[in-house]
């Protein structure tokens, strides 16, 4: 569906977006691409010393998944603002053998249109979003603004 000012309203939901489970390989690739080699994301000894059970995914990787959800619904050229707040840690699926790990490493992004308005000669919507794992643990929340044709 092509989003336009005529076919979107306050209260409408963006399509739910589900990521593939995040793996150790995702963390390695993200660290290389971003230059973020913080030991929280790869060093099992370090994380145990600071009191964690497992390494965690980069917050910006989770934000990237949320961004992927947004642009799967509306072309990125219409995106005017994207704001997020990190809420929880995400462990990769292959770092822990617990049965529940796959559920904790799959991210589901949902959103709802909360405002429809005009600004700078453009028709826009504001949509609140939340990213959770399959257990319902919130990883990120925020909002985005898009211009509509």
Percent of the chain with pLDDT over 70: 93
Q: What is the pLDDT of residue 34?
A: 95
Domain boundaries, the chain: 13-21+58-148
The pTM (predicted TM-score) of the whole model is 0.91
Q: Does residue 2 surpass a pLDDT of 90?
A: no
Q: What is the pLDDT of residue 49?
A: 96
SS3 content of the chain, % helix, strand, coil (to 5): 30, 35, 35
Q: Does residue 105 surpass a pLDDT of 80?
A: yes
| Three-class SS state of 112 | strand
For domain 13-21+58-148, give the fold.
Answer: Thiol Ester Dehydrase; Chain A (3.10.129)
Give me the mean pLDDT over the 13-30 stretch.
Answer: 94
Report yes or no: 141 and 114 within 8 Å, Cβ to Cβ.
no
Assign 96 a pLDDT band (cuts: 50, 70, 90). low
């Amino acid at each position: 569906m092509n989003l336009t000012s005529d076919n979107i309203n306050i209260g409408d939901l963006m399509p739910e977006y589900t990521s593939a489970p995040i793996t150790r390989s995702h963390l390695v690739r993200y660290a290389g691409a971003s230059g973020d080699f913080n030991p929280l994301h790869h060093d099992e000894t370090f994380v145990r010393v600071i009191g964690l059970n497992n390494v965690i995914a980069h917050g910006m990787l989770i934000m990237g998944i949320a961004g992927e959800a947004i642009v799967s619904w509306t072309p990125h050229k219409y995106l005017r603002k994207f704001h997020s707040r990190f809420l929880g840690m995400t462990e990769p699926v292959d770092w822990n053998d617990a049965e529940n790990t796959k559920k904790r490493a799959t991210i589901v992004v949902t959103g709802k249109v909360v405002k429809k308005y005009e600004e700078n000669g453009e028709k826009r919507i504001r949509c609140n979003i939340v990213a959770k794992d399959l257990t319902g643990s919130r990883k990120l929340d925020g909002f985005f603004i898009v211009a509509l044709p």
